[in-house]
Structure 1
Amino acid sequence: MATVRAEGLRAFPSPDPAVPAMLVSYADGRTVIQRLTDEGLEPVVGLPGMITKECRLTPDGRQLAANQIVDGERRAVALDLTNDAVTPFAHDVGAVLLSSPATGDVLVAVDTPDGVKLGWLTPGDAHARLPGELNDIEGVVLPLAVDPAGDRLALKVTDGARSRLLIHERRTDKVREQPIPPGVIGFASAWTEGALRFSYSAPTHPSGVLAVDPSGTAAEWAEGHDTPDTLPWCDARLERFDGPAGTMEAVVYGPDWRQTKHVLIALHGGPEAAWDLSFDPTLQRFAQAGISVIAPNQRGSTGYGAAHRAAIVDQWGGPDLADIRHLLAAVNTARRYPRHPAPMLFGASYGAFLALLAAAADPLMWSSCVVVGPFLSGSRLYADGSPAVRSLLDRLGGSTDLDDDLGPRDLLRLCPQIQAPLMVIHGEQDNVIPVEHSRALAQRLTADRRFIYREIAGGEHYPLSGRGGRALLDEVVDFLLSPVRDNLALATQAAPA
C-alpha cells in the first residue's frame, strides 16, 4: 500500500473507519503522523522531535495525548489532528502513560519531591490529581489499561518472580486485587466491554492472551490458545531459601529437590534481571529430563527492592556469589543422599560468569557445569565490550576488583581451580560478550578434566534459542546427565558457608 523510509515506524487505529490505520514515523529528528489510505499516505501532523505513547483523548480519536522528545527533553502534549495544534500539559507532568477517551483524562507520571507518582490530568488543568491509594501500592507498578467508561484502571504489579493484577476504582480511590493464575503479565493490554485482556505467560504456557472479567473472578486463555492442561510442560513453584543476608526467592521446577537424584542450580543473566514464572524453554527442557531446577534470584536481581538490586554495585561476584555458595550448602545439607550426585550448575551471560566463579570457589561441590556466553572479568569485558556494555559496567561498578579470600574475579586466574566436568558454549556472532572471552578460557583450561567448548557458527548471544538451539539444548542435557566421573562430588560433602 505504501513505502515509508524512517528510523522508527508504528501504527495506531484511525478515527475514520474508512482509513485502515494511522502511521507514526520518525526520521531526521522529526515525527510525521500520516493516514494510510487506499491511495497511499496522507500527512496529518508534522512536528519536531520524537513522539511516543500516543493515545486517544476523545472517542473519535481526533485528539491525542503523547510524549514529545526534543533534544533529549521530554514533555507531555495534546495533539489535535484537525488543525495540527500542539498544546503542552502542566509543567510537572513527566510522561503520558494512558488515557480515558470517555472522560478525556490522561494518566500521567508526575515528578514530585517524593519521587515519581501516578496522577490523572484533565487537559487545561494546572496540576494532576494524585490519588493516595493508587500511589501507596508496594512493588513495581505498571499501568495496563482503562475500562471503557473511564472508571477503573488495571495495574500490573511485579511481586518478586510473579505478577499481580490490581484494579483501581477512580471514584473511590480504592485498590483491589484481581485473581489470576501464577505467572507474568506482559505489556500489551486492552479493556473492552467484554473483558480485560493482556499478554500473559506462565511456567506451563508460552506467551498468550489472558482474558479476565474484572467484575468476577474468571480468568481464561483467549480463544485459539491451548490451555495448560493440554500442554506437555512441567509446572513451577516459588520457594524461599535462607541466605547470608536474608531470604531469597527461587523458581523451582520438577520433583522435590530434597529427594530427587538430579538437581540443577540455574543462574540468570543481567545482572539486572530475575527468574520469574513466565515460560522458559531452557528450564522446561531440564525439568522434562527429570532434573529438579532451582533458579534463585540472588542479590543483584530485580523485583525485590532497591537494596536487593543494588547489593552488587562495585561488587560483581561478591554478595551474589555468597548467596549461591550459601544456597549450595543448604541444598546439600537438606538432601543427604549418599548415592546422589552433587548439584549441577547452569548459567548464561552474567549468570555464566557467576556460575564459573561458583565452580571455582567450591570446586568439589558440583557434579557438572554448563555456561553460555561467559565473560572473563568485568575489567576485561569493559576493554572489549560495546558502548552499551561499558555504560552498564560504569553504572554498576562492574570493573571494581574485590579484595577477599577468593581474590579478583578474573576467570583466567580462577578457572584452573574448577574440577567439575565443564561445557562452555558461545555464539560466534555474540554482540554483547565477545567470543574471544570463551576462546581464551578454552585455551587456559587444563586437559585433566572433561571439558567441551562449543562455538556456534553464526550464533548470537544466547544460541540455545537460535537456529539449531533445540539440538544444542539436547546436547547440554546429555552432558549434564552423562555417567558420574571419578571427580564427581557427592551431596554428603558440605560446602563452606
Structure 2
Amino acid sequence: MTAPRADVWTRPRHNLRLTPDGGWAAALCRYDDGSAPRVEIWRRRGDGWSVTPTGASAAVTDQLLPLPGGRVLVRCGDGTRRIRLVGPDSAATVARTAEPAVRLLPAPPGDPGTRCVLAAHDGGATRLYRLTAADRLVRCPGELPGRTEDGVWLGARRLALTLFRSGGAATVVADLATGRTRPLLDVGPTTIDRAELYSPASTALVVRTDAGGADRIGFARLGADEAFWFPAETSSDRGLRPLALAPDGRRLLMHEQRGVRSELAVYDIAGRVREPLPTPPGAQRGPAAWTDEGIVTPWSAPTAPTAMLRLRPGHPPPAPAPVPGLSPARVVTVEGAAGPLEAIAYGGDGWLHAPALVVALHGGPLSAWRYEFHPLLSALAAGGVGVLAVNQRGGTGYGAEHVRPIRGGWGGADLDDVTAVLRGLRERRGDGGPAAVLGHSYGAFLALLAACAAPDEVSGCVAIAPFRSAAALHAAGPGPVRDLVRRLDGLRVPAGPLGPRDVPALAGRATAPVLLVHGALDEVVPVRESRALYARFLALGRRPGTDVTYVEVADGGHDPLSGGEAGRVTAAVRDFLSAERR
C-alpha cells in the first residue's frame, strides 16, 4: 500500500497523459534553450517517477498517447497528418492519414497487435482505423456521419463515441468488426451526452450530460437493460467530471471546480454515497488513474508547476513542496458590476500598488482562472508587475447564475464586470494610475473591448490571439469554434449603448497603447484576425511600435507562449507592461 505523496517538478508540463494502469505517462516540457517543447516519457518506479526527456520536439496542439512499455504515439497538429512513434532514443513517422482531423484512442483491451485506434474526420464523416503493431493503418468497416470525440472501450470490439450533430452531441456505440452503430445515450437535441468510463470488473458504464444546464453524471450496467440513472449526488452546475473508476468498478473519482480551486470526491455507486477526498490547494490538471496502490493524478499550484499526487481515500493529502523563487499568489475578492468576483493576485503584499498593474482575462469563454502555476503571470510578477486574474461573469466554476450571461452576451455582462474592476482599481491605487488589461483568445477580445469601452481606466492592452468580433470568428474559425459560437449565441448583440461588439468599429475610442501577439500557425483563431486589427489601428493613425505593436510568432500556435519563442514573447509582454504610461 502506497502512502499519499506529492512529487514536484520545477517546469510546467503540457498534455500530460497517463496509461490506464497509471504505470506510464507522457508529457511535453519546454526547456531553457529556446527550442520547441520536447516529449518526455514518465515511468512510475516504487514511490516515485523517473522522467526521461527525448529528442523529439512537439507542439501543444499535438496529441500524446503513452503506450505500456515506454513509448509514445504523437499525432502531429501541424497539418502534416503524421503519426509519430517516439521512444527514449528514437522518433519515426509510422503513419499518415488522408483525413485532416485525427484523434488517437487507446488500443482495444487485450489486443497486443494494435498500437491504437484512430478516429479520422474529413469534414463530413468520421472513419476508424487500427494502427497495427507492424505500423500498418487498417480501416475498420463503416463510418459515422459527423465529428466524434472521446472514446470508451466496452469490450474488445465495441467503442462508445461522442457524435456531434447540429446543436448537440449523443453517444453512439460502434462495432469495429461489423461497422454497425447504435445509439446509447441521447438525452435531447441540444444536449452534449458523453460516455466517460467503463469497468469490465463491474460492467459499470459512466456517462455525463449537460441537460438542464448542469453537469450530470449517470450510470448503467452493460449487459442488463442499460437503463441510466442520474443521482442527485453526481450533479453540479459548477463543472463536474468523472476521472477514474476504482479497480473493482464500484467507486468513482470525480473532480468538481469550486471557483479557482479543484475539489475531488469519491462516489460509491451502489451505496449512492459521496465522500470528499482531501487535496492540497491547487488545480487538477488532467486524467487520473486508480489502481490497487491508490489514485494518481497530476496537480498544480502557483508555487508547484507540476506535481503528481498519490492519494488514498481515508488518508490526509500530501503537501507539494514549493519551488524556490516562484511568485506566490493569493485568492482575493474584487467588486464587479453586479457583486463580488473571485480573483487571484500575484505580486506579494504590494500587488495593488505595484508600479505596473495588469488585469488578466481568461479565454474560453467557458473557462476560468485556476489556482495553479501560470508561466506568464508568474513571470510578470517576478518582473515587478502586479497581476490580478479576474473571474468575471460568464466563466465556469461558480454555478449557473454566473455562467448564464455569456449565452447571447459576448462582451455584455463580462465587459461590465471588467470595466467595474478597472474603475475600482484606479480608485484604490490613487496616484498609481490605471491598470492595463491582458487577455488570451476570448480574453484578448474582451481586453480590446475594455480598452475601447473605458479608455480612461486602461493604461495599456495586451491581446494574445485575439479576434475582431464574434461574427468574424464564426466566419473564419474551424468547425468546433463555429459550433461554440452558435451554441453560446455569440452572434447576438448585447444590450447597451456600446452597440455591436466589433473591435475595428470601436477602435477609434481606444487611447491606450496596444500590443498584439499571434501565432502564425494558430488553428483556433486564424492569424489574419490580428493582422486585420493591426492594419485597422495603423489606419487610425496609430504609430507602429509606440501606439500599437504587433508580434507574430512564426512557429506559434493558439498559445504562442508554449512554443520555442515563449521566452521572447514573455519578455515582450513584460517590457510593454513595465513601460511608463500616462
User: TM-score if structure 1 supplies the norm length?
Assistant: 0.79
Aligned to 2:436: 344
How far apart, CA to CA, are the structure 2 residues paired with 1:3 and 1:22?
11
Aligned to 1:31: 128
Which one of the candidate residues 515, 525, 532 is aligned to 1:436? 532
Q: Aligned-pair distance for 1:153?
A: 0.9
Contact 1:133–1:173 (Cα < 8 Å) also in 2? no
- Gap change, CA 1:44 and 1:209, over 3 Å in 2: farther
Aligned to 2:80: none
Question: What's the CA shift string for 1:439-466, capped at 9, x where partnerless?
Answer: 2223324349941422425244443333
Aligned to 2:459: 367
- Gap change, CA 1:105 and 1:269, over 3 Å in 2: closer
For 1:464, what is the secondary structure of its paired residue? coil
Q: Aligned-pair distance for 1:360?
A: 3.0
Q: Aligned-pair distance for 1:418?
A: 2.9
Question: What's the CA shift string for 1:275-332, capped at 9, x where partnerless?
Answer: 2223221111111112221111112222323343231444332322211121122223
Contact 2:109–2:153 (Cα < 8 Å) also in 1? no
Which one of the candidate residues 324, 327, 343 is aligned to 1:234? 327
Which amino acid in 1 is paired with 2:534?
S
Segment of structure 1 superposing worse, 423-432 or 191-200? 423-432
Superposition RMSD on alpha carbons, in Å? Answer: 3.9
Aligned to 1:176: 275
The answer to whether the aligner puts 1:376 opposite 2:465 as a matched pair is no
Q: Aligned-pair distance for 1:67?
A: 3.5
Q: Aligned-pair distance for 1:75?
A: 4.8
Aligned to 1:224: none
Percent of residue pairs identical: 31
Which one of the candidate residues 118, 140, 146 is aligned to 2:217? 118
Based on CA coordinates, which of the two structures has the bigger radius of gyration?
Answer: 1
- Gap change, CA 1:374 and 1:218, over 3 Å in 2: closer
Which one of the candidate residues 201, 219, 228 is aligned to 2:300? 201
For 2:455, what is the secondary structure of its paired residue? coil
- 5+ residue gaps, structure 2, are 1-84, 86-92, 188-192
Higher relative contact order (CA 8 A, sep 6+): 2
Within a 5 Å distance, the mapping from 1:60-139 to structure 2 comes to 62=156, 66-67=160-161, 74-77=170-173, 95-109=194-208, 117-128=216-227, 130=229, 132-137=231-236, 139=238
Q: Aligned-pair distance for 1:115?
A: 7.9
How far apart, CA to CA, are the structure 2 residues paired with 1:277 and 1:320?
20
Aligned to 1:248: 341
How far apart, CA to CA, are the structure 2 residues paired with 1:328 and 1:53?
40
- 5+ residue gaps, structure 1, are 221-226, 489-497
Aligned to 2:372: 278
- Gap change, CA 1:13 and 1:208, over 3 Å in 2: farther
How far apart, CA to CA, are the structure 1 residues paired with 2:466 and 2:493?
18
The answer to whether the aligner puts 1:328 opposite 2:422 as a matched pair is yes
Which one of the candidate residues 493, 500, 503 is aligned to 1:411? 503
How far apart, CA to CA, are the structure 2 residues paired with 1:138 and 1:302?
9
- Gap change, CA 1:310 and 1:115, over 3 Å in 2: closer
For 1:182, what is the secondary structure of its paired residue? coil
- Gap change, CA 1:252 and 1:392, over 3 Å in 2: same
How far apart, CA to CA, are the structure 2 residues paired with 1:114 and 1:415?
35
How far apart, CA to CA, are the structure 2 residues paired with 1:178 and 1:242?
32
How far apart, CA to CA, are the structure 2 residues paired with 1:397 and 1:88?
31
Aligned to 1:148: 247
- Gap change, CA 1:69 and 1:216, over 3 Å in 2: same
How far apart, CA to CA, are the structure 1 residues paired with 2:186 and 2:484?
29
Segment of structure 1 superposing worse, 428-437 or 345-354? 428-437
Aligned to 2:405: 311
Contact 2:419–2:450 (Cα < 8 Å) also in 1? yes
For 1:326, what is the secondary structure of its paired residue? helix
How far apart, CA to CA, are the structure 1 residues paired with 2:578 and 2:372?
25
- Gap change, CA 1:149 and 1:428, over 3 Å in 2: closer
